[in-house]
Amino acid sequence: MKTKLQEWMIASIGRSIHAVRMNLIILQPLEVDAENCAVLSDERAQHIRKVLKAEVGKELKIGLLNGPLGIGTVQTLENQTVELSCIFKEEMPPKPRIDLLLAMPRPKVLKRMWAQLAALGVGRIVLLRAEKVERYYFDSHVVEPGFYNKLLIEGLQQACCTRLPDVQVEPLFKPFVEDRLECEFSNHWKLLADPSGEKRLRNFQPLSSFAKAPADLREKSRRILLAIGPEGGWTSYEREMLKDRGFELIGMGDRILRTDTATMGLLSVLNELFGSDR
């Protein structure tokens, strides 16, 4: 018995594929039956037939949403449907170690960020109101799960990952920061990107030793929470509130970057220096 959300999730996986490079076919757990067989009839099936030009016996890279990667062998190809026999790996891919506290960007900007956030790898995304964030941004369809999950899954299929970022929308700054931030992110290393930040990521002492640490040590290390302000910046009140809760200010140099460029850039730097992948 599938719930409405599950039904929708399956539909959205199928819908998401047009014009996107699908380096991984993502399956919902409910799509795989007890014999490890999955029958696809949506855009994924089209992609397998038309782009990958798969024939019976062809092995495809597959992944279970929020689960392991694996191999799907084409069993039958009929009309619009493709039947895959699935074998999944034992181990689960690790959850991306970086979480993001993002002052809600303009809907147009956020729209183009979703897939790339999933592709670069983020564990959890908190979209937060700030003084310089218009209230109406939160009424946009780009913060509806039906909209963003589709784009997040596109990003996962592009990047060959299965971990769907958790998304949390917080339309009130003060209650979230005062009452819940510390509790929900109690063990995170907290970084606040800000033009006033003089410390650079390249100069962090723990970082250089960290990069040299063996993989299993890195694996066990703390998660990171990266906070990125709105286009106009945090107010000094907001900045102080965050600093009081353990955020360290970091700078990115002299250049003033667009929110989306700054976010992708900082995620790339953090992934390079602290990422849990090889």
Residues near a copy of itself (CB under 8 A) are: 21, 23, 116, 119-121, 158-161, 200-203, 208, 211, 231, 251-258, 261, 264-269, 271-273, 275, 277-278
Q: Quick one: 160 or 241, whose CB is closer to a copy of itself? A: 160
Q: How far is the CB of 213 from a copy of itself (least distance, A)?
A: 11
Residue recorded with tokens 């397998």? 48
Q: What are phi and psi of 7, to 5 degrees?
A: -55, -45
Q: Quick one: 145 or 251, whose CB is closer to a copy of itself? A: 251
Q: Quick one: 143 or 264, whose CB is closer to a copy of itself? A: 264
Q: How far is the CB of 260 from a copy of itself (least distance, A)?
A: 9
**SS3 at position 36:** coil
Smallest CA-to-CA distance from 115 within 16, 238, 6 is with 16
Q: How far is the CB of 81 from a copy of itself (least distance, A)?
A: 27
Q: Are 27 and 38 in contact (CB under 8 A)?
A: yes
Residues 103, 107, 110, 114, CA torsion sign: positive
Q: How far is the CB of 75 from a copy of itself (least distance, A)?
A: 26
Give, to the nearest 10 degrees, the angle between helix 145-159 and helix 107-120: 40
Q: How far is the CB of 65 from a copy of itself (least distance, A)?
A: 17
Q: How far is the CB of 237 from a copy of itself (least distance, A)?
A: 23
Q: Quick one: 9 or 69, whose CB is closer to a copy of itself? A: 69
Calculated CA dihedral for residues 222, 121, 108, 196, nearest 10 degrees: 40
Q: Are 252 and 186 in contact (CB under 8 A)?
A: no
**Separation CA 184–CA 200 (nearest Å):** 26
Smallest CA-to-CA distance from 75 within 86, 90, 85, 63 is with 85
Q: Quick one: 14 or 96, whose CB is closer to a copy of itself? A: 96
Smallest CA-to-CA distance from 101 within 200, 174, 181, 179 is with 181
Q: Quick one: 171 or 233, whose CB is closer to a copy of itself? A: 233
**Separation CA 181–CA 175 (nearest Å):** 9
Q: Quick one: 65 or 161, whose CB is closer to a copy of itself? A: 161
Q: How far is the CB of 263 from a copy of itself (least distance, A)?
A: 10
Q: Quick one: 165 or 275, whose CB is closer to a copy of itself? A: 275
Give, to the nearest 10 degrees, the angle between helix 107-120 and helix 259-274: 10
Q: How far is the CB of 182 from a copy of itself (least distance, A)?
A: 28
